[in-house]
Amino acid sequence: MKVLLFGSTGRTGLAIITYLLESPKSHIVTAVARNPSALADHPQHDHKNLRIVKGDLKNASFVEEQVAEHDVVVFAAGMSTVMGGRTPDGIYAESAKTIRRAILQAQRVSDSQRKIRFIGVTSGGIRPGNEVNFPFIYQFVIKPLFLQPSYDEMVLMEREFRDPDQNAEEIDWSFVQPPRLTDVERTGNYRVEAEKMIVGGCEIGRKDLAAFIVERMVDDETGEFRGKEVTLGY
């Protein structure tokens, strides 16, 4: 399949590239980056199935052009410096509108019953009741002071695809809501739940997250997680 990846230069995005290229499905991967040189150090930057494209989610015509050429769109972009005081600046909410419109447009001009798959990475922090998994300092300091603006935007992003008024039934979507991300090596040993939180699962490694997205969502043809919000954790 042809897979389009937004957020390719982040630590999660870099891992997703690795597992996509290692998949037995032989995916053709397009990694979108505002600064393509940021991918120069990726071990597989010269892989024959990897195409690195300079672009920006704020450019609607660029997004439409790229989406139309692919079978799967993975959104793993995010705010790596939220804790430093930056705000999300529309990265989730506005990107969702742009990508959704691009998917619908591409599907409607196609002669076949084509459906472009969308897989978005948000956060377990937006799931109601998740606070029981996290310590006091997260609940009453970190989340309200630093993370809430991003969480609010993630909610809007998911709503853009889930809401029946937004043609949700026309889009093949899934969201992954990971807890705190770490840089441990892949374990392959984690819990998965659809449409509910994992009690006690307060962290997951980026490599395990990336492998899950590729193996259980992109590669999977059963549709197990289609139209669902999925959480995972150790």
Average pLDDT for 166-192: 91
Distance (Å, whole) CA 170 – CA 131: 33
Q: What is the pLDDT of residue 145?
A: 80
**111 CA to centre of own chain:** 28
Mean pLDDT throughout 210-230?
Answer: 95
pLDDT at 166 (0 to 100):
66
**70-109: per-residue pLDDT in tens?**
999 999 997 554 444 456 677 899 999 999 999 999 999 9
CATH code, domain carrying 21: 3.40.50.720
**pTM of the full predicted structure?**
0.93
The residue that leads in pLDDT, 213 or 162, is: 213
Q: What span, in angstroms and rounded, lies between the C-alpha atoms of 210 and 208?
A: 5
Range of the domain at 31: 2-233
Average pLDDT over residues 152-159: 93
Q: Decide which of 198 and 116 is more confident.
A: 116
User: What are the beta bridge partners of residue 175?
Assistant: 120, 229
What pLDDT was estimated at residue 85? 45
Domain count, the chain: 1
- pLDDT given for residue 83 in this prediction: 45
In this prediction, residue 81 carries a pLDDT of 42
DSSP state letters, 177-222: ---EEE-PPP----EEEESS--TT--EEEHHHHHHHIIIIIIS--S
194 pLDDT exceeds 50? yes
| pLDDT tops 90 at residue 199 | no
What pLDDT does 79 receive?
A: 59
- Average pLDDT for residues 103-129, to the nearest whole number? 88
pLDDT digits (tens, 9 = 90+) for 6-22: 999 999 999 999 999 99
**CA–CA gap between residue 185 and residue 207 (Å, rounded):** 6
Helix (H), strand (E) at residue 25 = none
- Output the furthest CA–CA distance in the chain (Å, rounded): 54
Give the Cα separation of 203 and 179 in Å (integer). Answer: 5
